[in-house]
Amino acid sequence: LSTQDEDGELDGKPGIAGQRGKFLAAPLIASLTWKYYQNTQDEVFLAEVFPKLIKFFWSWFSGIHDRNRDGAPEWDNILQTGFEDNPLFDVWHPWSQGLDISLVHSPSLEAMLYREAQSLAKIAKKLGKPAEETSLVISQAETLKTSVEASWNPRTSFYTYRERETGLASTGKLIAKRKGEGNMRPKFESETPVRLLIEIHTKDPGAKRPEVEISEYFTKSKGEVEIIPGHQFQWRTGGLVATSQKIFNRIGRINVIGLDEKDKITVSIIDTNGEDITLALPLWAEMPEKQKAYAMIGRNVMMAERFDRPFGMQFLPLSPDPEAETVSMSVSLPCNMLIAEGLLAYGFRAEATRLTAHLMNAIIQNLKQNRAFYQRYHAEKGAGIGERNSLHGLAPVGLFMQALGVTILSSTRVKLEGKNLFPWPVTVKYKGLTIVRGMEQTTITFVNGESIIVKEETPCIVEM
């Protein structure tokens, strides 16, 4: 929060020497603040940061991030998502599409913003703020919920990315290709407007960036025309890629200038149908109604054919390319943790416990074999992937305690709920307090030696 600028924006990767990542932080700050307060009851801190949290929330809805002003912003940079290898948007892998991420609605971002709004409302209520102070925030949350609901695919019981302007999912389709510069006449028509992906395939590392002109009709005198200048193309593995800024119902002519005769150009409809585990984040934000949540959990989250694996939920349900295994089979602990919290919120405690055990198995295996945490873990093998001793790879103690059904309020107060669903007894020690949670009962021993045994599964608070 100390990096906040006058527009309310927070840098996504601030450094202690004044370095800046120069992209907006993912909207998780209010959610973190509320979680911190629940553990510390630090109301002074809550009051101090509340105005900054409100300002940060609204910074996401400026025209820079909500480009068509529909109340549902878009990501600016793939780094904000926590999944920088996403094949829909990444440009460094040969199997990736390279679509501009700011041109689609992402359920993950909308889920985070919705959760932020709910957290801000809880903070305001705790601070005794008048309802009017957060009424606009709650109204904005409803707009986000409507957008997320529009992303629901009943056929797959999962959420999907949608094109920003039309609000529709689109399937990739090649409409024109050629070698070298010159004209193409695709004669393409569509009932719904589509956005185009222009790819340049070249083996020359010093290839020039071409200029591409897209026209609705063969003649320039009528219809929509878009010129994609060279600077709009981004370098990618095997060439260059750009996304059209306009959407088209028909294409009559495509003209490319400045392309070497050996280079190839392909023009396709963008594909937004790629699936990844971040699309399940509305579950964490408690957005879907129970029926949809149950369908998504049963058909996607906890299905081995989709995401569920021995060491956690992988990023992609299916690898688009054999060489993409490391990316598709990667397990992100932060993302898995959020979805596990969603499972708990919808009453799937056994499933959340099993997922927690899977994640812990990967972590323990690497600590034993390599004495290190890793940025990510392989979903089938449990091997560490990426940066060694990354914070992202630390054991999720909070999730473990939630799945166990134990909340330590202080060294003399403990909240218990449900029963231990792990296949072994768990011992927790904290400031002289010892909690032994077996299969049938929980024994709490306080620092003064007093012991209390609890057998009931209904939520209760035990204190010295």
Give the pLDDT score at 319: 66
* Chain-centroid distance, C-alpha 222: 42
- The whole-angstrom separation of Cα 382 and Cα 379 is 6
Read off the pLDDT of residues 341-358 as tens digits, 9 standing for 90 and up.
999 999 999 999 999 999
- The whole-angstrom separation of Cα 334 and Cα 315 is 12
Q: What whole-number percentage of the chain has pLDDT above 70?
A: 99
Q: Which two tokens stand for residue 432?
A: 């002289």
Q: What's the predicted TM-score (pTM) here?
A: 0.94
- The whole-angstrom separation of Cα 339 and Cα 50 is 26
Asked if 404 and 420 count as a contact pair (C-beta separation under 8 A), the reply is yes
Radius of gyration of the chain (CA): 25
Confidence of residue 18 (pLDDT cuts 50, 70, 90): confident
Residue 458 pLDDT > 90, yes or no? yes
Give per-residue burial for 425-446: e unless 16+ CB within 10 Å, then b. Answer: ebebeeeebebbbeeeebebeb
- The whole-angstrom separation of Cα 116 and Cα 24 is 15
Rounded mean pLDDT, 131-148 = 95
Read off the pLDDT of residues 214-236 as tens digits, 9 standing for 90 and up.
999 887 667 889 999 999 999 99
Q: Which two tokens stand for residue 386?
A: 């990426």
What single-letter amino acid sits at 404?
L
Residue 272 pLDDT > 90, yes or no? yes
Half-sphere exposure of 214 (CA within 13 A, CB side): 26
- The whole-angstrom separation of Cα 310 and Cα 354 is 10
Asked if 237 and 94 count as a contact pair (C-beta separation under 8 A), the reply is yes
- The whole-angstrom separation of Cα 73 and Cα 141 is 12
| Entry field: residues in the chain | 464
Residue 204 pLDDT > 90, yes or no? no
Question: What percentage of the chain's residues is helix, strand, coil (to nearest 5)?
Answer: 35, 25, 40
